[in-house]
Copies of this chain bind each other. A is one copy, B any other.
Amino acid sequence: MNEENIYANLTQLGGESKLPTSPEEAVLERVRNPQQGTGYLVRFTAPEFTSLCPITGQPDFAHLMIDYVPGDWLVESKSLKLFLGSFRNHGAFHEDCTVSIGKKLEEFLKPQWLRIGGYWYPRGGIPIDVFYQSGPAPAGVWIPEQGVPPYRGRG
């Protein structure tokens, strides 16, 4: 198994990196896909996403799930975590924010395929979920459901 040297050029792994203050400041990093030529799915689950409402400045929260079929690159997971953390004090609407994160990763990783599910916490009693994918799922790759249970209110 040929994993050992693909992480050589990374700058954030190891030491304690500071949380970037905005998505623009965040630096996504990538490593060579050690299983290039193989169609497989990688899933990240980020139950701790938070941003600010651009109108009221109040915090919003989301549970994000990101699925992708790598092409030449894997996203380095610590840089992804810092990128997601960089929305902490950034204003963003639910629909646009979710799709934008998906497209940003799509552009950076040039995966065979990518999708993102944004499960936002309720505001005014009616939560919003947003689902985006880069195109039809590639034939022959296994893409399980994300399976997040629906919101139920109380009781």
Contacts and interface: CB of A to CB of B under 8 A. Distances in A.
Contact of A127 (B3, B41, B45, B99): B45
Interface residues of A, number: 93
> Chain A at the B interface: mostly helix, strand, loop or mixed?
loop
Interface string A98-138: 11100100000000000101011111111111111101100
B131 A143 contact: yes
A77 B40 contact: no
Contact of A96 (B35, B48, B65): B35
A18 B53 CA distance: 11
B48 A16 contact: no
Contacts of A153: 47-48, 61, 63, 121-122, 155
